[in-house]
Structure 1
Amino acid sequence: MTAQNSATLPTTIAVKNPVRRGTALALLGVVAFSLTFPATAWGLESFGPWSLVALRSVLAAAIAGAFLLACRVPLPARGHWAGLAVVAAGVVVGFPMLTTLALTTSTTSHAAVVVGLLPLTTAALSALRTGARPSRAFWAAALAGAAVVIAFVVCDGTLAQSGGALSAGDAYLFGALLVCAAGYTEGGRLARTLPGWQVIGWALVLCLPLSLAGSVAGLAYEPVHLTGHGLAGLIWAAAGSTFLGLYVWYRGMAEIGAPRASQLQLAQPLLTLVWSVALLGEHLSPAAPAAACGVLVCIAVTQRVK
């Protein structure tokens, strides 16, 4: 065996089944994201919406910065900064801010099912941005999954809570769908050349000046009432959802592609509903198990077709 073959053997073994590994990593990201809304609801017990989002970003940036410094990671190439700015605007600032504002007027269960349209939005933007062309079977399964989520909204009665009309909270949520899908798509593209944790790490560091200024302003104008739930929600939103969740998510997307990874998020609204019941005491509709089965079937199809 030559020296070159010996050097490449461990890498070959390490990537024995990249599709299965990428799917597992993306699923871990989905689980982390499913706790975001309950954690945010807890955080709002102690902080105002602007303070919470800014502090969340500052703490996540501190974690990311520590890793970047400890690993002596060089600055990204000039060509990566535009993409990192899109990631920062979408998943570090835009999505957290818009969903937090929505949760001041909407329940976590309502927000979860509306954001259930994120997989389809991400797949569509990814196809436009990267030129990926999933099969008709993929799109049929993705549309079916979105239809299940929409049907669940109707059957669950969440629209009836607002008189059948879209509220200001819904406007925030639909805006969050667009900016988050853009951030996911660009982050997944960057993760093909940069490690996933560096993608989110540099995006967080890029936003740090804005996050620090927002923290100072928010804490000055919004009341703070520290509680155990509030602090736990802030810590999870920063460390779990923003850093760890996005790290494994982008790494998984890099291995299986944004369209396939995005469809795994069809399970996220239903997981969030479970957490909402367990952690917040919200009511779970009898339609949830049926919706869960339908979503799981759609996910299985999107993961098997190309």
Structure 2
Amino acid sequence: MSHSGSTTLSDEARGLGYGLLGVAMFAMTLPMTRLAVGPASDPQLPPLFVAAGRAAVAALLSVVYLAFTRSAWPQRRQLAGLFVCAAGTVLGFPLFLGLALREVDAMHAAVVTGVLPLATALAAALAFRQRPSAGFWLCAALGCALVLAFAAQRGSGRLSAADALLLLAVLSAAIGYVAGARLSAQLRPEAVICWVLVLSLPFTAPLMAASWPAQPVRPSAWIGFGYVTLFSMWLGFFAWYRGLALGGTVRVSQVQLVQPFLALLLAVPVLGESLDASTVAFSIAVIAIVFIGKKMPADLSPVPPSLVKPEA
């Protein structure tokens, strides 16, 4: 992978492909988290257990991967970024999401978290001092407007406590994604999430033990927990961070616009939630906006060359 500071068309195409693969895995996070924690009327695994446990188990997988690939230890100057990434993606996002999904269904959560692409792009533009074109930002804004319009159509027009938790989850994920993207220009993308998880293990393992479910839960809850552990917390980031590193954070982050609608579609077979025609219409409109947006020119240098020091 090139770290020259410029994103070629080939790298961009590959980056979008990896990004879409990661988004497809992440789209199952909402219905599977809902399956794991259960509704307030029928609670299953505690949200803190799901958040900490999925990270702790994935950390053990990461230890094996890092040892097998003989990955170099992160440098001291990279530790701050790793801890910021951990705070956003390992703790903040899954915990806020799990708490919210006790109160709202996966389809509701999907439309509220649909603002994540814009939050990620804004955080990336600030962190990387990138300069997307006005057309690119217009497409991003239109896509997010469609997501918010969909949320308004299905909601009461007011933010609930669960909506506030979902927005905190969005903020956490955006910050964590950008920190991980910066590190993916310096370390192998697969190693980034592994080191994030391993460094978090002294915190996540005790939290997992302390929040272990006191009562038996349904097997389906453990299936949901298994998915968010293996795919949402681990393999999905392999694809996602490689996509951000190859294609540029601002542009690749826009493929997240289709994630809420994938989550809506997947909530039907997983949770039995109902899907209507308006969901399909909004989904097609957002995909069209994403397609147009990725054609817009922009200066998308992932990170200043002076900061790049690839892993051996």
Task: Output the TM-score relative to the length of structure 1.
Answer: 0.90
> Does residue 34 in structure 1 map to residue 27 in structure 2?
yes
Deviations 1:131-168 (A, max 9, x none): 0110000000000000110111122x2x23xxx42111
Q: What residue in structure 2 maps to residue 215 of structure 1?
A: 208
Deviations 1:13-62 (A, max 9, x none): xx992222111100000000000011111111441111111111111111
Call closer, same or farther: CA 1:126–1:16 in 2, change over 3 Å: closer
1:302 to 293, 298, 304: 293
Q: What residue in structure 2 maps to residue 136 of structure 1?
A: 134
> Does residue 118 in structure 1 map to residue 116 in structure 2?
yes
Q: Structure 2: how far apart are the matches of 1:41 and 1:259?
A: 29
> Does residue 245 in structure 1 map to residue 236 in structure 2?
yes
1:48·1:224 contact (CA, 8 Å) conserved in 2? no
2:245 to 254, 257, 269: 254
2:12·2:248 contact (CA, 8 Å) conserved in 1? no
1:235 CA drift (Å): 1.0
Give the number of the structure whose residues are more often helix, by fraction: 1
> Does residue 165 in structure 1 map to residue 163 in structure 2?
no
2:195 to 202, 206, 212: 202
1:283 to 266, 274, 285: 274
Q: What residue in structure 1 maps to residue 256 of structure 2?
A: 265
Q: Structure 2: how far apart are the matches of 1:96 and 1:125?
A: 19
2:93·2:170 contact (CA, 8 Å) conserved in 1? yes
1:57·1:92 contact (CA, 8 Å) conserved in 2? yes
Q: Structure 2: how far apart are the matches of 1:224 and 1:140?
A: 50
Q: What residue in structure 2 maps to residue 11 of structure 1?
A: none
Q: Structure 2: how far apart are the matches of 1:281 and 1:300?
A: 30
1:47·1:223 contact (CA, 8 Å) conserved in 2? no
Q: Structure 1: how far apart are the matches of 2:127 and 2:265?
A: 34
2:114·2:260 contact (CA, 8 Å) conserved in 1? yes
> Does residue 20 in structure 1 map to residue 18 in structure 2?
no
Q: Give structure 1 regions of 4+ aligned residues with deviation exceeding 4 angstroms.
A: none
1:102 CA drift (Å): 0.5
Q: Structure 2: how far apart are the matches of 1:300 and 1:111?
A: 24
2:146·2:282 contact (CA, 8 Å) conserved in 1? yes
Q: What residue in structure 1 maps to residue 99 of structure 2?
A: 101
Task: Output the TM-score relative to the length of structure 2.
Answer: 0.89
The residue type equivalent to 1:275 in the other structure is: L
Residue 131 of structure 2 aligns to a residue whose secondary structure is coil
Q: Structure 2: how far apart are the matches of 1:258 and 1:140?
A: 17
2:85·2:196 contact (CA, 8 Å) conserved in 1? yes
